[in-house]
Chain A
């Protein structure tokens, strides 16, 4: 089955700096890669996703990149703000299969 590894487990950044979270996956058949954000005490919510036919996708201050050959994908947050502090989860799945989540990255943005 699919195995997703996520790094780092914690990330502290100064407000205004960029944050990068990296994930690798094992199943070359995986073609859907979402990112979820979970604020303290809240539910995980989808913030951005990418499919395997696309190499990069951007939505305001967040972007995802995908390298199918290397089987890794990354989340980039630019101009970080305190409200970006949360746990971020990457995930991967093949069509009609379950999402396999990474272990999560605790992002702390300090003013």
Chain B
């Protein structure tokens, strides 16, 4: 069983469209994250949810809206897509309450905006 799974793996869309990426973890972790990795490979945190509550919200355009229906799921919705949104988006989870901030990443979702 995949520990952190995200869908879709690839997403190609036109500028201005709205799209969503879904993430699920079956590790029982209390915290989930969204990271953006651009072409230069830099891993930038976007959001973090702990037990369904938003705890980190980096400087991200408000076109990006995360939603956590329960602590095993964290979805990312992006409105009015722009060329600069093209990147690989990684979902991750960790059990922060254990004191070890070890991230388990999903396989990534490559978003291409044309």
Contacts and interface: CB of A to CB of B under 8 A. Distances in A.
Given A98-B48, A104-B41, A104-B43, A46 B103 contact: yes
A44 B96 contact: no
Contact of B43 (A34, A42, A89, A106): A89
B27 to A, nearest CB: 13
B41 A34 contact: no
User: What's the interface size class on B, roughly?
Assistant: 10 to 19
B99 interface: yes
Contact of B96 (A45, A87, A89, A96): A96
B106 A43 contact: yes
A103 B40 CA distance: 9
A46 B102 contact: yes
B42 A45 contact: no
A93 B101 contact: yes
Given A32-B100, A49-B102, A44 B42 contact: no
Contact of A43 (B96, B99, B107): B107
Contacts of A34: 101-103
A104 B106 contact: no
Interface in B34-52: 40-43, 45, 48
A32 B102 CA distance: 10
Nearest to A94: B101
Nearest to A97: B101
B56 interface: yes
Interface of B: 33, 40-43, 45, 48, 56, 90, 96, 99-103, 105-108
22 contacts: A32-B101, A42-B107, A43-B105, A43-B108, A44-B103, A44-B105, A45-B105, A46-B102, A49-B100, A49-B102, A89-B43, A93-B101, A97-B101, A98-B33, A99-B45, A99-B101, A99-B103, A101-B42, A101-B43, A103-B40, A103-B42, A104-B41
Given A46-B103, A96-B96, 7 more contacts: A98-B33, A98-B56, A99-B101, A99-B103, A103-B42, A104-B41, A104-B42
